Structure 1
């Protein structure tokens, strides 16, 4: 996977990003920016004033910056780079850092699950080709730590295959649509099943 734009560990930064509207702003600007607060408000069903307030909060932590070509209310915003990394399980992290990282992870995953639900609801409206292309997979397996890492690395390699298309529209083939993959490979805990 390409290196993320930024590694987050400061609880203030993590908490600033762990808000559904702010995360939505960062996501939209990452995919289709630069945009003004008014344009973001229209897409997010929020008020321009609310989007402006959240943009200022994001800007305080460097998550968004002003783009060229506007003034006042017509000022466009953009992200300075793509991707974040944070670690909610880092042993040396303070309790405050771990809680803030966990809150951010929960916002990110909740938004991804909401998009999955919407996609499932809208599937009947899709063409047969797009319905046949979609997939939901869930599985459990007995793995060693080395095997789990190997599988996660292999999945990340596959997911990285088309990452450049996000920022370079010239690489997108005709008919390409924005698609989302969410993956996690973690030890799980079933009632009554011993971990080892």
Structure 2
């Protein structure tokens, strides 16, 4: 299994990843294993030349590496690790780092929202068991900072429960499908409601 959760703080790294095509490439390589620029282009509706250019940019920062086998355009690429972590509001980070982290977060959340919308559009065509298993949840609660940290840790523990299935197909039960969970636990702001 690749090493999990590379910590990002260099604005150059954050900016290199904060591009929809590059993020799509990293996602596909994480989910589908080694792929060539041509294979990525077919899946992303891009040109092989464009995918090659983005692969080289990702490789400059160690987000992708060449896999064994192939030459030239038939050279496969893979990710050396699984996932990334970065701090949008890192107090000691520079303004440049915070801006780059926010740009990366915007790309990530935009892609997740796009996948949510596509899933909602396709839901009527899903089998009943998959329609019944779906859920959208949103809530607000009055919490202390310690309680918020505890809830976030508990949610992360649940979300990490089946992470090995991403890279080890033998771990996947029959009839398993790729599913996505997006969660954030943050202080929130409503008009007319004081934070404390």
In the TM superposition, residue 32 of structure 1 has moved relative to its aligned partner by: 0.3
* 2:67 is the alignment partner of 1:71: no
Structure 2 SS opposite 1:6? strand
In the TM superposition, residue 90 of structure 1 has moved relative to its aligned partner by: 1.1
Deviation track 1:58-92 (CA, whole Å, cap 9, x = no partner) reads 01111000101100110000001111111111111
Partners of 1:131 and 1:3 lie apart in 2 by 34
* 2:190 is the alignment partner of 1:185: no
Deviation track 1:106-145 (CA, whole Å, cap 9, x = no partner) reads 1011100100000000000100000000100001111111
1:154 corresponds in structure 2 to: 154
* 2:196 is the alignment partner of 1:175: no
1:49 corresponds in structure 2 to: 49
In the TM superposition, residue 45 of structure 1 has moved relative to its aligned partner by: 0.6
1:122 corresponds in structure 2 to: 122
Residues 1:133 and 1:76: Cα distance change in structure 2 (over 3 Å): same
Structure 2 SS opposite 1:84? strand
Residues 1:35 and 1:3: Cα distance change in structure 2 (over 3 Å): closer
Runs of 4+ residues over 2 Å off in structure 1: 2-5
In the TM superposition, residue 101 of structure 1 has moved relative to its aligned partner by: 0.6
CA contact (8 A) 1:11 1:96 kept: yes
2:195 corresponds in structure 1 to: 195
**Normalising by the residue count of structure 1, what TM-score does the alignment of the two structures yield?**
0.97
Structure 2 SS opposite 1:189? coil
2:11 corresponds in structure 1 to: 11
Residues 1:3 and 1:152: Cα distance change in structure 2 (over 3 Å): farther
In the TM superposition, residue 3 of structure 1 has moved relative to its aligned partner by: 7.4
Structure 1 unaligned spans of 5+: none
CA contact (8 A) 2:3 2:80 kept: no
RMSD: 1.2
Structure 2 unaligned spans of 5+: none
CA contact (8 A) 1:8 1:86 kept: yes
Structure 2 SS opposite 1:4? strand
